[in-house]
Structures are given as C-alpha cells and as structure tokens.
Structure 1
Amino acid sequence: MIQTQVIEKPVAVPCLVDSPPECKSAYAVDRVSVKDDPLTINRALRTEIEERSACEVKLLAALRGCKKGMRSM
C-alpha cells in the first residue's frame, strides 16, 4: 500500500531588492574641494549626513521586507 506524507521544509529564497535611488556612489562631500571655504564644506557634510540617513532608512526597510517574507514560509 502506498501512503502519501507531506513534509514541510523551509527553503531559502533569495530576496532581490534594487538599491534605492537615495543610495548613490557620490555624496555631497565628494563634490567639495579642499580650496572651498569652511562654510561650504560644513554644509556639504550636513547634507551628506541627511543623504546617508535616507539611504539607511530605505535599506533597513528593504531588509525587513525580505526577512518578513522569509518568516511566512
């Protein structure tokens, strides 16, 4: 006699997420020259902090989305 048995086993599936547009290879400080005045450099540094923060938020959201999808298996 043949019996059918269901065995549930989680299988890892890669989560493909594109890099958010906020995460770029060149940030504000990359456009500053050593010859620029300190105020311009300071503004660029503050802008870069905001840019990187926005990138981090998007990356964390993508990571949580991938992890959430894995838990539902």
Structure 2
Amino acid sequence: MNQELNIPIRFDGRVALNNKNRKWEIKALRFYPLTGSLCEAGGWVINVLNSRKNAKEWAEENGYTVIR
C-alpha cells in the first residue's frame, strides 16, 4: 500500500465508549481516505464519525464497525 495516498485528514471528533455511562462520545481523530478508517493515537480505530446522532447507532445502521 502506498502510504503517500493514505495521508490522514483531521477531524474534530473521535467515537469512544464511556464505560461509566455506556454512552458513545465524540472526541478527536483522523480519517485515512485510502483505507476508509478513522483513528487516533491512543489506539481507537473506527470507521465512522457523525456528530448529529449516536455514533454507534449511525455506524451500525450504515454497516460500519467500531473497534477499540
């Protein structure tokens, strides 16, 4: 894979599961257009970001998977 084609595009949010209240929260991430993945240095890798509705719900509806 040519990494030059997979330069990350920065977003203002990351989808993370808050273990205390079991709610999905938007935080910080980068989108890699070649692989279609969103990730963040802390190790979260996700395939979707949508701040207007529950991110996990949106992901499931659109066939994406949220991976820790």
Ranked by relative contact order (alpha carbons within 8 Å, sequence separation 6 or more), the top structure is: 1
TM-score normalised to structure 1 length: 0.22
Q: Which has the larger radius of gyration?
A: 1
Structure 1 or 2: more helix by fraction: 1
